[in-house]
Amino acid sequence: MIKQIVFAIVFLITIGVFSYTISRIIRFFKLTKPNFPVKNIGKRFRVMLEVAFGQTKIFRRPVIGLAHALVFWGFCVILIGSIEMVLDGFFGTERILKALGIIYNIISASGDVFALIVAVCIAVFLIRRVFMHIKRFEGIEMKRISHYDANIALTMILLLMLSLLGMNAAYYQHQVLLGEGIAGTYPVSFFLSGLFSGLSEEAISHTYQAFWWSHILLIFVFANILPYSKHFHVFMSVPNVFLSRLDPLGKLPNMEDITREVKLMLDPEAAFSAPASEAPVERFGVKDVEDVSWKNYFDSLACTQCGRCTSVCPANITGKMLSPRKIIMDVRARMKEKGPGMIKNGKEYTDNKSLIRDLISEEELWACTTCNACAQECPININHPTLIIDMRRYLVMEEGSAPGELKAVFNNIENNGAPWQFSSEDRLQWANDIEMKIN
């Protein structure tokens, strides 16, 4: 009974802290702008099953991709065991899901095997991060705190897997000593249980409880650390894939207000039937974090910071400043910086800084070729170019700021109706001296 009371208190504290964190994030979402409507639910589920659960994009790098996929699939299986532990903690039971029979045997065996697989994979990830200095883990946006963040999260996952194996092994040996039936199947812990063969029944019971509590407390602490970590993608990546932009990668979204004005110019008579009292446009494009869409902010929270986008970016590869990963990370950092002030003082609040220039330079934005290599490579379907284009739109349409070459093109389009400096009457002069033989 005491165990149940203590567990209930710890669980309620965990839920309370987590709820506060999520409510704060929800308030940040309310500061953003609407985006595309969420339609085509069936297609979204197919994309989610393929990209998120099937991990298809990860397998473009087969070896390390398989390791990442195994960790993800392992988490999915082990989650069932975690839910069982919460139920056991509340009701004072032991392996409450054992009533599922053979299904429980499959679940417990899978969880036991995956715990070892995940532990090995996480150990490999830690070695790669600490000792191998992988190039895509580096970059101007990857501060020292980013590396600490990743290492702490990976270490906690490793401890979670080791505590789970220790708990299963101690449980197995304890049941053998008591001569009682073992609920579930534990192919890995069966071998590990030999580590406790010399202990008394009481000692093994205490060992089991120590592993049980360490595992569940690690889960609770990890769940509350995640929203402040890059590993928030543990929660956010699957819904982010479900909410993917379904348009072809090469299609850039138009601004509705501009599209409407162009249509009115092409059909002047439509102006008389257009609504007379339309709200003025607050801002063209994106200057600061309150101008981004909810999906842009969702992307920033879901970003795994894996660097796959930056590693394939032709601008970055050729030495330019652009890093698609940095663009997404800066959105999250800027919301964290300015969001509390906007919540307290309203969306008009300013700290005399902005996303453009203070975090993201014009040089970075204009280096993008909109080739969509970053969006194609991203394992959770973040679309970087649409955000970059929106920031360019602000620079051009609000400030008239653009590289000199582009300004010349804009002027030519305005004056000549074409990107070239020749007037429409002179466009065919290049063909004047061409002679064609007609047979």
Please check whether residue 174 lies inside any domain of the structure. yes
Shared-domain flag, residues 137 and 176? yes
Please check whether residue 240 lies inside any domain of the structure. no
Please check whether residue 335 lies inside any domain of the structure. yes
Shared-domain flag, residues 184 and 325? no
Rounded to two decimals, the pTM is 0.88
Shared-domain flag, residues 65 and 135? yes
Shared-domain flag, residues 174 and 298? no
- Tokens read off for 106: 């499959």
Q: Percent of the chain at pLDDT above 70?
A: 97
Tens of pLDDT, residues 168-205 = 999 999 999 888 889 999 999 999 998 888 888 899 99
Shared-domain flag, residues 321 and 224? no
The number of distinct structural domains making up the chain is 2
Helix (H), strand (E) at residue 68: helix 62-91
**Residue 277: predicted pLDDT:** 45
**Residue 22: predicted pLDDT:** 95
Tens of pLDDT, residues 259-277 = 877 777 777 676 555 555 4
Report CA Rg, the chain.
28
Shared-domain flag, residues 153 and 217? yes
**Residue 436: predicted pLDDT:** 74
Shared-domain flag, residues 79 and 222? yes
Q: What is the CATH number of the domain that holds 310?
A: 1.10.1060
Tell me how many degrees the CA angle 224-133-142 measures, rounded to the nearest 5.
50
Shared-domain flag, residues 266 and 404? yes
Instruction: Tell me the residue range of the domain where 15 lies.
Output: 2-30+61-231
**Residue 347: predicted pLDDT:** 87
Please check whether residue 238 lies inside any domain of the structure. no
Tens of pLDDT, residues 130-153 = 888 888 899 889 988 988 999 999
The amino acid occupying position 342 is M
Residue 114 pLDDT grade (very low, low, confident, very high; cuts 50, 70, 90): very high
Beta-carbon-side half-sphere exposure of residue 242 (alpha carbons within 13 Å) = 10
Shared-domain flag, residues 210 and 268? no
Other beta carbons less than 10 A from residue 396's beta carbon:
16
Please check whether residue 434 lies inside any domain of the structure. no
Decide if pLDDT at 234 tops 70: yes
What's the mean per-residue pLDDT of the chain?
90
Shared-domain flag, residues 142 and 25? yes
- Contact call for residues 321 and 367 (beta carbons, < 8 A): yes
Shared-domain flag, residues 180 and 312? no
- Tokens read off for 292: 């981004």
Please check whether residue 43 lies inside any domain of the structure. no
Low-confidence winner among 234-243, 407-416, 427-436 (lowest mean pLDDT): 427-436
Of 412 and 224, the structure prediction assigns the larger pLDDT to 224
- Tokens read off for 72: 């993800």
Tell me how many degrees the CA angle 152-153-156 measures, rounded to the nearest 5.
85
Please check whether residue 432 lies inside any domain of the structure. no
Decide if pLDDT at 239 tops 80: yes
- Average pLDDT value for residue range 201-212: 93
Tens of pLDDT, residues 326-372 = 999 999 999 999 999 999 998 889 999 999 999 999 999 999 999 99
**Residue 382: predicted pLDDT:** 96
**Residue 279: predicted pLDDT:** 57
Identify the sign of the CA torsion 379, 381, 385, 390.
negative
Tens of pLDDT, residues 39-89 = 899 999 999 999 999 999 999 889 999 999 999 999 999 999 999 999 999
Q: Percent of the chain at pLDDT above 90?
A: 68
Shared-domain flag, residues 129 and 260? no
Please check whether residue 381 lies inside any domain of the structure. yes
